Amino acid sequence: MIRNTKKQRIVIKIGSSSLTSRHGEISRKKLEKLADEVVYLKDIGHEVVLVSSGAVAAGYRKLGCLERPHTLPEKQAAASIGQGLLMESYSELFLSHGYIAAQILITRSDFSDEVRYTNVRNTLNVLLERGMIPIVNENDTVTIDRLKFGDNDTLSAKVAGLVDANHLVILSDIDGMYNANPTSNANATLLELVEEITPELEAAAGGSGSYVGTGGMKSKIEAVKIAMASGIPTFIGKASRKNIVIDAVSGMAKGTYFKRKSTSNKLNQKKKWIAFHSGPEGDIVINQPAKEIMIKNRQSLTVSGIHQVMGKFEKGSVIRVNDCQGTEIGLGIVNYSSAELKKLLEQKVISAITPEFAIKKEDFVCHSEAQITV
């Protein structure tokens, strides 16, 4: 086992099936294994954020359900019970080794609002710098539209980008990414290194893999795409393997490593927020010369490059930028409201009285830059 003592910031995501027994209750043995590996990383100087699933799975039997609930109120009620049980166990285990666990419950709106996004980032940075172990989860008790397939896989990638992590480790009940579905294809081969997410790889990703979990390989690939766009190496492997987290960080684990060939054009924090966390509020259509200027030349968009304005939005909103063929090419923060832009287009008023760019180059992320599949 290679011990890399250079300080690293590591985000670990663990799925429900990797934390619970076959009856759906918290497995103390599984929790202890994970805690021991996190403690080892902490002891040699690394910073660790844990994105933990398992709240619904841990709580539904305490709620009186014989099987995992299907209705939203029951899921939320189970999560309210299970989240407390998880944190109690994590706190006890980490405190026995001298480390303090801190609970962070996040909703999608915490990411879509730039001020709240920054606040979450600042909170996590303070906790990490002071030696705590943040334990992050989707706030399932109050969230309406995110208790669904793969939410915590994506959340872990967003958290990794948020804290500028050096590694993202996604643990599940599978060994990694295969070139075909291993449950139905005996000739499927485990991919040890992936440098690009191709359509063929996405097609090989199947559905939800386990009874107690909500995520499958498809959601993990979506998470990997977000992490790779942020320049964060990612590993997917089987949680039950001995020293899986330690070996994953050391580059020695059995599983799949995802790493871009070049990270020279990775997104900064602002562009990460625009690309992956903001909620676009409208659309504009730009002409072909403007498209070339924005994508090939990486220059700002002038009002004269806008062909059409769709929807209603205010100045400072994030909007979708489309070409004349209807293809979405990127997202950007607009310097005019939709009403102002429509008025300018109707009057055919160009830059003489509109000194600001419609979208500045530093406020625009094209999908090819972020490796987003629309």
In 140-265, the DSSP E strands lie at: 167-172, 193-194, 234-238, 256-258
Q: How far apart are CA 143 and CA 102, in angstroms?
A: 20
pTM for the full predicted model? 0.80
pLDDT average, residue stretch 95-121: 89
Asked if residue 259 belongs to a domain, the reply is yes
Beta strand pairing call for 234-238 and 167-172: parallel
pLDDT average, residue stretch 289-315: 90
Asked if residue 110 belongs to a domain, the reply is yes
Percent of the chain, pLDDT > 90?
44
The CATH code of the domain that includes 316 is 2.30.130.10
Asked if residue 272 belongs to a domain, the reply is no
Least confident range of 5-9, 61-65, 83-87, 209-213? 209-213
pLDDT, tens digit, 9 for 90 and up, residues 220-268: 888 898 898 888 999 999 999 999 999 999 999 999 999 987 655 667 8
What is residue 371's predicted lDDT score, i.e. its pLDDT?
Answer: 55
Asked if residue 4 belongs to a domain, the reply is no
pLDDT average, residue stretch 1-6: 56
Looking at the chain, how many residues does it have? 374
The three-state secondary structure class of 208 is strand
In 30-116, the DSSP E strands lie at: 47-52, 101-106
What is residue 279's predicted lDDT score, i.e. its pLDDT?
Answer: 77
pLDDT, tens digit, 9 for 90 and up, residues 160-193: 999 999 999 999 888 899 887 777 788 888 999 9
Q: What is the mean pLDDT of the chain?
A: 84
Domain that holds residue 307: 279-370
Residues 114 and 149 occupy one common structural domain: yes
pLDDT average, residue stretch 332-341: 93
Query: Domain tally for the chain?
Result: 2
pLDDT average, residue stretch 268-290: 86
Asked if residue 139 belongs to a domain, the reply is yes
What is residue 148's predicted lDDT score, i.e. its pLDDT?
Answer: 46
Asked if residue 273 belongs to a domain, the reply is no
Last residue of a domain, one of 238, 266, 294: 266
The three-point CA angle 38-39-40 to 5° equals 90
Q: In this model, does residue 316 exceed pLDDT 80?
A: yes
Q: How many CA atoms lie within 13 A of 179 on its CB side?
A: 9
Residues 303 and 239 occupy one common structural domain: no
The CATH code of the domain that includes 163 is 3.40.1160.10
Asked if residue 274 belongs to a domain, the reply is no
> What's the start-to-end Cα distance of the chain, in Å?
40
Residues 350 and 284 occupy one common structural domain: yes
User: Contact at 8 Å (CB) between 107 and 143?
Assistant: yes
Residues 308 and 260 occupy one common structural domain: no
Last residue of a domain, one of 234, 266, 298: 266
Beta strand pairing call for 234-238 and 193-194: unpaired
Residues 112 and 18 occupy one common structural domain: yes
Residues 241 and 335 occupy one common structural domain: no
Asked if residue 147 belongs to a domain, the reply is yes
